[in-house]
Amino acid sequence: MKYQSQRVAYWFFASALLLLSLQIVYGFIMGFARVGMDGLHEWIPFNTARATHTNLLVVWLLCGFMGSAYFIIPEEADRELWSVKLAYAQLISLLVVGVIAIICYHLNIWEGRKFLEIPRPLDYLVVVNVLAFLLNIGMTLWLGKRNTTTSLVLYMGLLFAALLYLPGMVTVKNQTVDSFYRWWVVHLWVEGVWELIMGGILCYLLIKLTGVDREVVEKWLYIIVGLTFLSGILGTGHHYYYIGAPRYWLIVGGVFSALEPLAFLGMAIYALAMAKKGGRKHPNRIALTWSLGCAVMSFVGAGFLGMAHTLPQINMYTHGTLVTAMHGHLAFWGAYAMIVLAMMAYALPLLTGRKLWDTGVASFAFWTSNIGMVGMTGALAVAGVTQVALERRLGLDFLIVQKEIEMHFVGMLLAAALFTVGIGAFIWLFIRHGLPSAEARAEDFEGAVAVGK
Amino acid sequence: MLSKSQARVFFLGGTGLFSAIFLALSVDSMRQIPKLTRQDQLTDQVVRGKRIWEDNNCMGCHTLFGEGAYYAPELTQVVARRGAPWIKLFLDDPKKMFPGQRKMVRYGFSDQQKDDIIAFLTWCGGVNLQGFPAKPPLRDLMRPTATTASADLAGQPEIFRTICVACHSVGGVGGVVGPALDEVYKRKTREEMIAWIADPQGLKPGTAMPKIEMPVERRIEIVDYLLGLARTPATAAPVQPVRPAVDPKDFE
């Protein structure tokens, strides 16, 4: 690492992995409940497990994004972080808020709106927390020696993510209006500004790992994020089909959702093309593997599988079924979990000075977790399609259909076990890297600095 | 090929333009939503119901307008599907209504709270959802055509009309959880039926049929109604099952 303050990133990454582990535990609780093993129902009913599972996902990804930003921004701005103390304070407070929220869920205290379950008072703390983060990163950029497109796009992504959190805090009486603005947060995050963050991080990694000229990589970054917004903003319409909004959203949402995979396809082609173009081989191959894997899996999960059910005619029958869960799992994994893990794989050796990038464990972690996640997606797909056919097309009762598809959740649990082994390997490797070291200097790694301009 | 500055213009210009369109459509949506959702019927009671819905994170298992989790049934049309009396009985003890099946928390709602929830769900059921949830297009192929004269539906006892039909159908009207009861008189005697309603679990452990507390007169009333269906011959002739696409005989 070039700047001592980049070390902050390590603790964000470590916290992210801890929260990911907990997320997996709650995933298993739900998986077992679905095959009838719901012994924890009295203490952790399904809605608690579900809210905990999805909220942990959001918090660990945000933690990972923040860690990535704390690693990338000093280097891009060519100066130390504005305030290391603020960064640590911000990490600790984020974790405290997260833990309080999860405890609340177990006590039946929440706001009870999908993905925005955290109780309202905690919302304000999240806002303060994110403002502190943005201030820290913003001041670093402001005082920095240079402004790069990569850091600009990353910062814009983080800033808009913070702004878009606000519409979720408006209280309304009408359920349709409630839902309408809830999607401003949820959709415009994951299919809008988070892609900006993802694009920024991916761009940084490609510059570092492939050695392709920054001007070329960044030009394409603009085009890709341009495509993302071009399709993603009006693509919000696919959430407005059947919630009581005007009919024209069926057309607007249908057309622009159909364009959404283009941005992801662009991202995948862009990453693969840059990797091919890059002449110099960076020794950290596994970080490049994660980066390219992210680009490809985000296309499959977010782009292709999303497209598979956003057409209004199809969505009429798949809306509110496990088909959504199928798409959700691979989309979040491919687009966001993998970019954070890619960043960790790249940054860890630089932070700790240990070059554990070419080990069998590193490849094992990549392949096992990915095969596990694809397996889970497959199981959910079969369960979802069967549910659509039996419940939505034939009109059988909900619970009768759920009994019919129970077996697919056994398959999902097996795939989830494989996934867990992969993540376990990743975490083991993370621990083996040891703590960040003041002596770890980027120059020690052949190619690492020479390649990244 | 595009230069970097052109690419930047594409990004900023595109984002600006589509954000503006999105905002304009959102403004128009807010103008139309009061009518589409019948906002004039959005009473304080409905709002109280919405609060209960959120305070207990009902969306963490159920879906409403197709939004939520996928662990428990979609509730947009639940009042039309099950009826208010059934919902109240169910909320008192959800596990009892679905013995041995997927569990719901017993929240212990007061009568007032139950009314609020039902008011909220009734309002939701009246929102114009552009045709969602669609009527299952293949249902009619699977369901035997009604064999009971429509007049018999009017003769249903109160408890049958409000509770039993949530799961069972007569004359093609009612739920699809349990079997249709049009011809149950052919399968069971009067005594068998009365005993069955009194304690389904006792007679057949593991059955999905709940034990619903009611005085014996109510049970007799139900059974007599079902037996009475035998005396009113069907107006519609039983329909032949749909011929399979491939007849096994073709291979003989």
Q: What is the pLDDT of residues A104-118, one digit of tens each?
A: 999 999 998 888 899
Q: Which of A175, A221, A233 to mutate to test the interface with B (most CBs of B within 10 A)?
A: A175
Tell me the C-alpha distance between A148 and A453, whole Å. 11
Could you say which DSSP state residue B243 is in?
P
A33 CB within 8 Å of a chain B CB: yes
3-state secondary structure of A240: coil
Q: For residue B66, what are the CA distances in angstroms to A52, A110, A180, A369, B74?
A: 21, 21, 13, 31, 6
pLDDT at B174: 84
- Residue A310, domain member (yes or no): no
pLDDT for the residue A279: 67
Task: Please give the pLDDT value at position A185.
Answer: 92
Token pair for A126: 């999240």
Contact flag A45-B10 (C-beta cutoff 8 Å): no
Q: Kindly state whether A112 is in contact with chain B, defined as any CB-CB distance less than 8 angstroms.
A: yes
Separation between Cα atoms, residue A13 and residue B120, nearest integer Å: 43
> Any chain B CB within 8 A of the CB of A203?
no
C-beta atoms surrounding A432 within 10 Å? 13
Average pLDDT, chain A: 92
Categorize the per-residue pLDDT at A448 as very low, low, confident or very high, splitting at 50, 70 and 90: very low
The answer to whether the CB atoms of A176 and B65 lie below 8 A apart is yes
pLDDT digits (tens, 9 = 90+) for A58-83: 999 999 999 999 999 999 999 999 99
Domains of chain B are: 38-125 (1.10.760.10), 140-228 (1.10.760.10)
Give the model's confidence band at A197: pLDDT under 50 very low, under 70 low, under 90 confident, else very high: very high
In a domain, A83, yes or no: yes
- The answer to whether residues B69 and B62 touch, using CB atoms and an 8 Å cutoff, is yes
d(CA A284, CA A305): 31
| pLDDT tens digits, A203-222 | 999 999 998 989 989 999 99
pLDDT confidence of A447, banded at 50, 70, 90? Answer: very low
A128 contact B CB<8A:
no
For chain A, the domain total comes to 1
Partners of residue A387 in chain B, C-beta under 8 Å: 70
Residues A384, A321 contacting (CB under 8 angstroms): yes
User: Is residue A79 a contact partner of residue A144, using CB atoms and an 8 Å limit?
Assistant: yes
Mean pLDDT throughout A192-199? 91
Q: Kindly list the residues from chain B whose CB atom is less than 8 angstroms away from the CB atom of residue A245.
A: 29, 32-33, 36
Tell me, yes or no, whether A269 lies in a domain. no
Query: Of A108, A175, A325, which has the smallest distance from its Cβ to B56's Cβ?
Result: A108
Distance CA(A282)–CA(A416), nearest Å, equals 32
Residue of A nearest to B124 (CA): A175
A20 falls within a domain: yes
Average pLDDT over residues A311-327: 96
Which residues are paired to B64 by β-bridges? B67
The reported pLDDT for the residue numbered B2 is: 83
A453 in a domain, yes or no? Answer: no
Q: What is the pLDDT of residues A158-186, one digit of tens each?
A: 999 889 999 988 889 999 999 999 999 99
A318 touches chain B (CB under 8 A): no
Among B60, B127, B143, the residue with its CB nearest the CB of A244 is: B127
Amino acid at site A54: T
Q: Which residue of A has its CA nearest to B74?
A: A320
Distance (Å) from the alpha carbon of A233 to chain B's nearest alpha carbon: 7
As a whole-number percent, the residues of chain A with pLDDT over 90 amount to: 81
Q: Return the exposure string of B131-154: e unless at least 16 CB atoms fall within 10 Å of the residue's CB, then b.
A: ebbeebeeeeeebeebbbbeebbe
Q: What share of chain A is helix, strand, coil (3-state, %, to 5)?
A: 80, 0, 20
Is A41 among the domain residues? Answer: yes
Return d(Cα A7, Cα A433) in angstroms, integer: 13
Q: Which two tokens stand for residue B94?
A: 């959800």
Using the predicted structure, report yes or no on whether residue A43 has a pLDDT greater than 50. Answer: yes
Nearest to B73 among A46, A218, A398 (CB): A398
Nearest residue in B to A398, CA atom:
B73
Does residue A73 sit in helix, strand or coil?
Answer: helix
The pLDDT of residue B144 is 59
CA distance B35 to A7: 55
- The string of pLDDT tens digits covering residues B8-48 is 999 999 999 999 999 999 999 999 999 999 999 999 999 99
Q: Identify the domain containing residue A47 by its residue range.
A: 7-123
Residues with pLDDT less than 50, chain B: 235-252
How far lies A384's CA from each of A37, A327, A402, B134, in Å? 20, 10, 10, 17
The position carrying tokens 């603020």 is: A86
Is A250 in the B-facing interface, judged by CB distances under 8 Å? yes
Angle at which helix A214-235 crosses helix A175-188, to 10 degrees, equals 170
Q: What are the tokens at B117?
A: 């929830």
B149-165 pLDDT, tens digit each: 555 677 889 899 889 98
CA A393 – CA B139 distance, rounded (Å): 7
Residue A34 lies in a domain: yes
* Number of separate helices (H) and strands (E) present in chain B: 13, 4
Instruction: Tell me, yes or no, whether A448 lies in a domain.
Output: no
Q: Which H or E run contains B207?
A: none
Mean pLDDT of A352-360: 89
Pick the residue of A123, A174, A203, A405 with the most B CBs within 10 A to test the interface with B by mutation. Answer: A174
Residue A446 has pLDDT above 60, yes or no: no
What is the distance in angstroms between the Cα of A221 and the nearest Cα belonging to chain B?
9
Max CA-CA distance within chain A? 66
- Residue A304, pLDDT > 60, answer yes
Residue A123 neighbours by CB under 8 Å, 6+ apart: A111, A165, A168, A169
